[in-house]
Amino acid sequence: GAGVSQSPSNKVTEKGKDVELRCDPISGHTALYWYRQSLGQGLEFLIYFQGNSAPDKSGLPSDRFSAERTGGSVSTLTIQRTQQEDSAVYLCASSNIGLSHEQYFGPGTRLTVT
């Protein structure tokens, strides 16, 4: 596709369950980012992948969060033992490398933990 895609668009889960969120970046973009956005808040950086380099996981809020990127393309963000405070919109973005390169965002996954 032409843009970044994410699935599912909405996910409702019970507290304590695990969830997987998927991101398919723009073809050819080597950089991939995961962000979290709570209602009325700015973007919270979670994790960054660049090519075959080790990912920067410095933004992950706890060890319940993990992410992987297979084959330098599709990425999956996994949240284990979900908590109510995990409820947010999870946004994925991709870009070419470099400070001036804009990030292209996917439509996001709205996660609701009940």
Partner 1 sequence: GQNIDQPTEMTATEGAIVQINCTYQTSGFNGLFWYQQHAGEAPTFLSYNVLDGLEEKGRFSSFLSRSKGYSYLLLKELQMKDSASYLCAVTHMDSNYQLIWGAGTKLIIKP
DSSP string, 33-57: EEEEE-TT---EEEEEEETTSPPB-
Burial class (CB in 10 A: 0-12, 13-18, 19+), 50: middle
> Pairing mode, if any, of strands 44-50 and 31-37?
antiparallel
100 is an interface residue for partner 1 by CB under 8 A? yes
Site string (39-78) toward partner 1, x via CB under 8 A: -xxxxxx--x-x-----x----------------------
Q: Which of 7, 20, 22, 31 binds partner 1 (CB under 8 A)?
A: 31
Q: Which range in 18-26, 62-70, 77-85, 90-98 contacts partner 1 by CB under 8 A?
A: 90-98
- Report the relative pairing of strands 75-79 and 10-13 from DSSP bridges: unpaired
**Residues near partner 1 (CB under 8 A), total:** 23
Is 87 one of the binding residues for partner 1 (CB under 8 A)? no
CB of 77 to partner 1, least distance (A): 16
Closer residue to partner 1 (CB): 80 or 110: 110
Closest to 13 measured CA to CA, from 88, 74, 67: 88
